[in-house]
C-alpha cells in the first residue's frame, strides 16, 4: 500500500515548488489508491509561524489536494522523538557529545587551514568516561562502506560513509534536529515513497543510515529537480514567484495551476492539457524529468484562459464569485454569474480581469469626461429610438435586442458599427464588452433604459 507525504516547513508561503511537490505526492497516492499524508515540519521554532501554517492549509484546500491523514505537527511529537533518542543512546547507536563550541570552532579552523572538509572528528564517540556540562546527541554514522540507493528520478546514487558526519540528532537544549525528526516520522507513518525537492538529496544518505540503525527498511526516494526562473537561476521572489494563494488573487483557476505544475517537471508525450483524472491516470514517478524546469508565466496564463473558456461555467462561478466579493461587488442584484461567465470567457485571461470588467452588470457606471465624447448631438435621435425600442420590446432576448439596434440604425441611415459603440459606452462606461446585444441583455431592461437616459440630452 503506497503512502506518500508532503512535509513542508511553515517558514513562508506555500510556494510554487512546494505546491508541485505536494501535487506529485498527491497524484502518486491517488494513482496507486494509496494514502496521502500532510505533515507540518515546524520544529524550527524561530522560523515557523502560524501564518505560514495557515497559508499551507489554505493553499492545499484551494488546490483541492486533500489528505487522508494529518495535518501532523512535529512540535506535538517531541515525546516520541525523545523516546527514540533514549533508545538509540541505550543501544549505543548514538552518543552524547560534550565538545564545547570553542573546541568545535578550533577543530573547524584547523581543518580549513589543512584544506580539509570541516567535520566532527569523533572525539566523544568512543570516550569511556562521560564528559561534563551540557551535551548534544550525535548519531553514530558508519565509518566505512557506502550508502547506495536507487533514486526513482535520478537513478543509482552512492555516498561514501567517510564523507558523512556524526550528525547531531538532539541539540544541547534537547530539541531534535531536522534529519532525525524526518526519519522518525517517515518510519512511524509507514511512508513508502518520499517525493521531495532535490535540495534534500544530501540528507538522504544520512536519513537512510539512521533508518537502518533503527532496523527499518528505508522508503523509496524520488528527488524532484528544482524550478528555475527565466534567467536559469533557482526560482525565487526575485522572479516574481509568489505564494499559491497569490495565484488565486491574480485570477487563476486551481485546475490551471495544477495542470501547469504537473507539466513543469513531468510529461506524458507532448500532451499539454490534462484533466485531474488524466493526471491521476498517466502520472508516474519514473516520468519526472531529471533536468530542472523553467517557470513560464505565459504558459500558465494560456492554460488559465483555456480552463476559463472550457470549464463548466457553474464550476468557474464558485471561484468567480470569490473575486466579485473581493472587489466589493454585490452580485445578488444583477444577472446570474454563469451568464456573465459565458459572455466574458472568450476574452479574459484571468478571473480577476473578468471581475474587473464585469462591475457594470451589477453597479451603476461612472462616466468619465473622456467617454462623453461618444455622445455627439447627431446621435441623440438614434439613442432615443434605441431607448424607446428597448422599453417597448415584448420579449427580452439577445435576438430582439439586436433587432432594435438594427432597426434604429437602418431608420437613421447609420451603420450599426457607429451606433453600437455609443450604446456600449452608455451601458458600460467603457469601450470593451461582450457583444452589445448580450451586454444589454444581461444588464437588464430597467438599468439599460436608465443608462441611456443619462446620456441622452
Ligand atoms: N520540511 C522539508 C522542507 O520543507 C521537507 C522535508 C522532506 O520532504 O523530507 O523542505
Indicate if 321 and 355 belong to the same structural domain: yes
Centre of ligand 1 to C-alpha 7, Å, is 5
Q: What is the atom index within ligand 1 of the atom nearest the CA of 11?
A: 4
Per-residue pLDDT, 240: 74
| Element spanning 37, H or E | strand 35-40
Per-residue pLDDT, 74: 98
Domain membership flag for residue 54: yes
Per-residue pLDDT, 22: 98
Q: Give whole-number Cα distances, 39 to 71, 245, 414, 418, in Å.
A: 5, 19, 68, 62
Indicate if 164 and 94 belong to the same structural domain: yes
Structure-block grid coordinates of residue 333: 442584484
Domain membership flag for residue 147: yes
- Does any ligand 1 atom lie closer than 6 A to the CB of residue 41? yes
Centre of ligand 1 to C-alpha 54, Å, is 17
Indicate if 328 and 370 belong to the same structural domain: no
Out of 310, 328, 347, a domain closes at: 310
Q: Give the CA angle between residues 276, 278, 280 to the nearest 5°.
A: 70
Indicate if 87 and 160 belong to the same structural domain: yes
Q: What is the atom index within ligand 1 of the atom nearest the CA of 195?
A: 8
Centre of ligand 1 to C-alpha 179, Å, is 9
CA dist., res. 422 & res. 440, Å (int): 13
List, edge to edge, every strand of the sheet that includes 3-6.
Answer: 69-73, 35-40, 3-6, 193-197, 220-224
Centre of ligand 1 to C-alpha 315, Å, is 33
Indicate if 257 and 330 belong to the same structural domain: no
Per-residue pLDDT, 241: 72
- Does any ligand 1 atom lie closer than 6 A to the CB of residue 42? no
Domain membership flag for residue 295: yes
Pocket test for ligand 1, best of 41, 71, 234 (most atoms within 8 A of CB): 41
Per-residue pLDDT, 230: 85
Per-residue pLDDT, 215: 97
Indicate if 370 and 359 belong to the same structural domain: no
Domain membership flag for residue 203: no
- Domain containing 113 — which CATH number? 3.90.800.10
Count up the domains in the chain and report the number: 4
Q: Give phi and psi for 5, each to the nearest 5.
A: -140, 150
- Does any ligand 1 atom lie closer than 6 A to the CB of residue 319? no
Domain membership flag for residue 218: no
- Does any ligand 1 atom lie closer than 6 A to the CB of residue 200? yes
Indicate if 382 and 334 belong to the same structural domain: no
* Torsion sign (Cα): 339, 345, 347, 349: positive
Domain membership flag for residue 196: no
- Domain containing 260 — which CATH number? 3.40.50.620
Q: Give phi and psi for 74, each to the nearest 5.
A: -65, -30
> Which residues are CB-neighbours of 371 under 8 A, at least 6 positions away?
425, 429, 430
Per-residue pLDDT, 127: 87
End-to-end CA distance of the chain: 76
Per-residue pLDDT, 226: 93
Pocket test for ligand 1, best of 4, 5, 8, 180 (most atoms within 8 A of CB): 8
Out of 322, 338, 363, a domain closes at: 363
Q: Mean pLDDT, consecutive 10-residue segments, the chain of 457 residues?
A: 97 94 98 98 94 97 98 98 98 97 95 93 90 96 97 98 95 95 98 97 98 98 94 84 92 98 96 98 97 94 98 98 97 97 96 98 94 95 98 98 98 96 98 97 98 96
Per-residue pLDDT, 297: 93
- Domain containing 437 — which CATH number? 1.10.10.350
CA dist., res. 145 & res. 57, Å (int): 42
Indicate if 343 and 395 belong to the same structural domain: no
Indicate if 350 and 436 belong to the same structural domain: no
Placement of cell 517558514 in the chain: 11
Q: Residue 149's beta-bridge partner residues?
A: 157
Centre of ligand 1 to C-alpha 25, Å, is 12
Centre of ligand 1 to C-alpha 51, Å, is 18
Task: Output the pTM of the full model.
Answer: 0.94
Domain membership flag for residue 198: no
Residue nearest to atom 7 of ligand 1 (CA): 7
- Domain containing 321 — which CATH number? 1.10.8
**What one-character DSSP code corresponds to residue 268?**
S
- Does any ligand 1 atom lie closer than 6 A to the CB of residue 8? yes
Out of 276, 291, 310, a domain closes at: 310
Could you list the residue range(s) of the whole structural domain that residue 397 is in?
A: 365-457
Other C-beta atoms closer than 10 Å to the C-beta of 382 total 20
Placement of cell 567517510 in the chain: 162
Centre of ligand 1 to C-alpha 8, Å, is 5
CB 6 within 8 A of CB 15: no
Indicate if 282 and 356 belong to the same structural domain: no
Indicate if 230 and 254 belong to the same structural domain: yes
Indicate if 418 and 452 belong to the same structural domain: yes
Nearest to 347 by CA among 427, 434, 419: 434
- Does any ligand 1 atom lie closer than 6 A to the CB of residue 196? yes
For 64-219, where are the E strands, in sequence order? Answer: 69-73, 94-97, 136-139, 146-151, 155-160, 168-170, 193-197
Domain membership flag for residue 215: no
Residue nearest to atom 6 of ligand 1 (CA): 7
Amino acid at each position: 500500500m503506497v503512502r506518500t507525504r508532503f512535509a513542508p516547513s511553515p517558514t513562508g508561503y506555500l510556494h510554487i515548488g512546494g505546491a508541485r511537490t505536494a501535487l506529485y505526492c498527491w497524484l502518486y497516492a491517488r494513482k496507486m489508491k494509496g494514502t496521502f499524508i500532510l505533515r507540518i515540519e515546524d520544529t524550527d521554532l524561530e522560523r515557523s509561524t502560524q501564518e505560514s501554517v495557515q497559508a499551507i492549509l489554505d493553499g492545499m484546500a484551494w488546490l483541492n489536494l486533500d489528505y487522508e491523514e494529518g495535518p501532523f505537527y512535529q512540535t506535538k511529537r517531541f515525546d516520541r522523538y525523545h523516546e527514540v533518542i533514549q533508545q538509540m543512546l541505550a543501544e549505543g547507536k548514538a552518543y552524547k557529545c560534550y565538545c564545547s563550541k570553542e573546541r568545535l570552532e578550533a577543530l573547524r579552523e584547523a581543518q580549513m587551514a589543512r584544506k580539509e572538509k570541516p567535520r566532527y572528528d569523533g572525539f566523544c564517540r568512543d570516550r569511556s568516561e562521560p564528559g561534563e556540562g551540557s551535551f548534544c546527541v550525535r548519531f553514530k554514522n558508519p565509518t566505512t562502506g557506502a550508502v547506495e540507493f536507487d533514486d526513482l528520478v535520478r537513478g543509482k546514487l552512492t555516498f561514501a560513509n567517510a564523507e558523512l558526519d556524526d550528525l547531531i540528532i538532539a541539540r544541547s537544549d534537547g530539541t531534535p534536529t531536522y534529519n532525525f525528526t524526518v526519519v522518525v516520522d517517515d518510519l512511524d507513518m509507514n511512508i513508502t515513497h518520499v517525493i521531495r525537492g532535490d535540495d534534500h538529496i544530501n540528507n538522504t544518505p544520512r536519513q537512510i543510515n539512521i533508518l537502518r540503525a533503527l532496523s527499518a527498511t528505508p522508503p523509496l526516494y524520488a528527488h524532484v529537480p528544482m524550478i528555475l526562473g527565466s534567467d536559469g537561476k533557482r526560482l525565487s521572489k526575485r522572479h516574481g514567484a509568489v505564494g499559491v494563494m497569490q495565484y488565486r488573487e491574480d485570477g487563476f483557476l486551481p485546475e490551471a495551476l495544477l495542470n501547469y505544475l504537473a507539466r513543469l517537471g513531468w510529461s506524458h508525450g507532448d500532451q499539454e492539457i490534462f484533466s485531474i483524472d488524466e493526471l491521476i491516470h498517466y502520472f508516474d514517478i519514473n516520468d519526472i524529468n531529471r533536468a530542472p524546469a523553467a517557470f513560464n508565466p505565459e504558459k500558465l496564463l494560456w492554460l488559465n484562459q483555456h480552463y476559463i473558456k472550457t470549464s463548466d461555467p457553474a464550476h468557474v462561478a464558485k471561484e468567480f464569485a470569490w473575486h466579485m466579493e473581493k472587489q466589493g461587488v454585490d452580485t445578488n442584484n444583477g444577472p446570474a454569474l454563469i451568464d456573465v461567465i459565458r459572455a466574458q470567457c472568450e476574452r479574459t485571461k484571468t478571473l480577476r480581469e473578468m471581475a474587473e470588467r464585469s462591475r457594470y452588470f451589477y453597479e451603476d457606471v461612472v462616466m468619465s469626461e473622456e467617454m462623453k465624447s461618444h455622445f455627439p448631438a447627431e446621435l441623440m435621435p438614434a439613442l432615443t429610438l434605441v431607448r424607446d425600442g428597448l422599453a417597448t420590446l415584448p420579449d427580452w432576448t439577445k435576438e430582439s435586442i439586436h433587432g432594435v439596434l438594427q432597426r434604429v440604425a437602418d431608420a437613421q441611415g447609420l451603420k450599426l458599427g457607429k451606433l453600437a459603440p455609443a450604446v456600449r459606452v452608455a451601458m458600460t462606461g467603457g469601450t470593451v464588452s461582450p457583444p452589445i446585444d448580450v451586454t444589454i441583455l444581461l444588464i437588464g431592461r430597467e438599468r439599460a433604459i436608465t443608462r441611456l437616459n443619462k446620456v441622452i440630452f
